[in-house]
Structure 1
């Protein structure tokens, strides 16, 4: 720092100030000690003290031998290696335990699925025996035949029996992962490439019912009074059964009339909008023969009439 610049800042003369100045000489304001130290001392005093101590030690012949530095470095390297080895061993033990737990859970799931399949087959066989016996006992009289007709209508309404007839087939295909993996414009769920959601399928099913459908299935699962279509994380469940893209929605009813109404329905309009915006595949076709499976029937223990 030059002398003229120091004078401009007020100078370093301790006698300079308002109380001591000569005639025709500018009044100089002394620089405070803190500001003076900031302008002149660029390093912390601790650095200077450490440098002086190191220089004094070297001058007195107390410089640390080089082998001691190497020994400390070797100890540090060994300590780091020991930490990494311990972490790897713990990770391997944890991975082994996780794999064993996964195998055990997978085995439990397979056993539960097999038991469920067996119980479902037994239930269906017993239900068929009950239906056969019921028909045998009621077919003999006019009153029994009338009662059977009412039971058949109730079974169809409750989705308790498989049905075959003409209808519509609606196939909705999720576009999946985009070619540009950094493109998030196709996301309707944060962090996911899933486009089709449960509310889209719900709207389609309701539109088909409004269009005159007599029976509907989604992804091979019959839609009955107690069946729901809902989102579970990144998947869609129909009657608690997971379904995947392409989503096939079958509806039995008058194909031409139902298709005309469905073309103007909010459900198909939503699908067309998703087709334009997200690249969803939408295909609607009429068929003379559509087969729908029977749905799961649950016993109703309590009921309450609402309205008239």
Structure 2
């Protein structure tokens, strides 16, 4: 049985760093005792140096392990045969479908032209005035190609477009050019071959510009048919010209205007009529 401690005797002082034993071990004795002893023997020359054969064996093992690791990484990154076959099949289907769509589109256009020709031939003997009205309507709504004198306005992205998004041509820039040309008396307009009609929209979809839901890329060529002097003068006096000039000086967006004696604006898609009513009536029906 241990005797009771005398309260009059002072307690032994506790080390200040008694709670940091592990930290002291790491700081003052970083090596394991076994490693430290081996290092001491090697320093005193009591341990024989490694033989050349051992070094060569270790080097060979390291090379083999490195080669195996690199080979495994290459095999893991290599596409599996099934994935490659599926991707190839999908690409072939996309190419085939695009070709089929292009063929059907051409057939549809040819059939539409044949129908228009037969219609005009049948109406020529019955009502010639109606034939001229139909032709004028087709030209107005953009379902008939237009040909004649006019101007072209080419707008290209700035040189810093790759690093500065503001150097890209925006949909609003093309809208202002088109509106200025309509106001100047343009009879038919197309952007990169896409005919503009009363229902055509010019808008952005991310970094792309859609004209009637068809993507177009720069440089953007706006073709306008009409009186060349009126179109050129009207565009130069419009706010669109001031906007393009400011874009050129600030962001390097390039604009050029050229006049032509003979231009072609292709026909646009045939519109589907969902509702109609006689002119001059307002009965609220749709």
TM-score (norm 2): 0.71
Match of 1:165 among 148, 166, 172: 148
Unaligned runs of at least 5 residues, structure 2? 1-14
SS of the equivalent of 2:153 reads strand
Map of 1:144-155 to 2, 5 A cutoff? Answer: 144-155=127-138
Structure 2 Cα separation of the partners of residues 277 and 105 of structure 1: 44
> What displacement does 1:219 show?
0.7
Counterpart of 1:299 in structure 2 is 272
Structure 1 Cα separation of the partners of residues 194 and 136 of structure 2: 20
Distance 1:217 1:276, change over 3 A: same
**Deviation string, structure 1 residues 132-187 (Cα, Å, up to 9, x no partner):** 2222222224xx23333332232122210011122221112334468xx8xx4xx1
SS of the equivalent of 1:217 reads strand
**Is structure 2 residue 56 aligned with structure 1 residue 83?**
no
Map of 1:45-56 to 2, 5 A cutoff? Answer: 45-46=25-26, 47-48=28-29, 50=31, 52-55=33-36
Distance 1:50 1:122, change over 3 A: closer
> What displacement does 1:91 show?
1.8
**Is structure 2 residue 138 aligned with structure 1 residue 200?**
no
Match of 2:116 among 131, 135, 138: 131
Unaligned runs of at least 5 residues, structure 1? 1-31
**Deviation string, structure 1 residues 34-73 (Cα, Å, up to 9, x no partner):** 5x999xx9x7323427454544577899x9x968x97888
- How many residues are paired up? 259
Counterpart of 1:26 in structure 2 is none
Farther off after superposition, 76-85 or 147-156: 76-85
Counterpart of 2:165 in structure 1 is 188
SS of the equivalent of 1:33 reads coil
Distance 1:87 1:54, change over 3 A: closer
Match of 1:252 among 225, 230, 239: 225
**Deviation string, structure 1 residues 192-235 (Cα, Å, up to 9, x no partner):** xx622223222211222222212100011211234333334444
**Deviation string, structure 1 residues 266-305 (Cα, Å, up to 9, x no partner):** 3222221221122222111233322111111231335799
Distance 1:97 1:280, change over 3 A: farther
Match of 1:262 among 190, 214, 235: 235
Structure 1 Cα separation of the partners of residues 32 and 101 of structure 2: 80
> What displacement does 1:86 show?
1.6
TM-score (norm 1): 0.67
Structure 2 Cα separation of the partners of residues 148 and 77 of structure 1: 86
SS of the equivalent of 1:166 reads strand
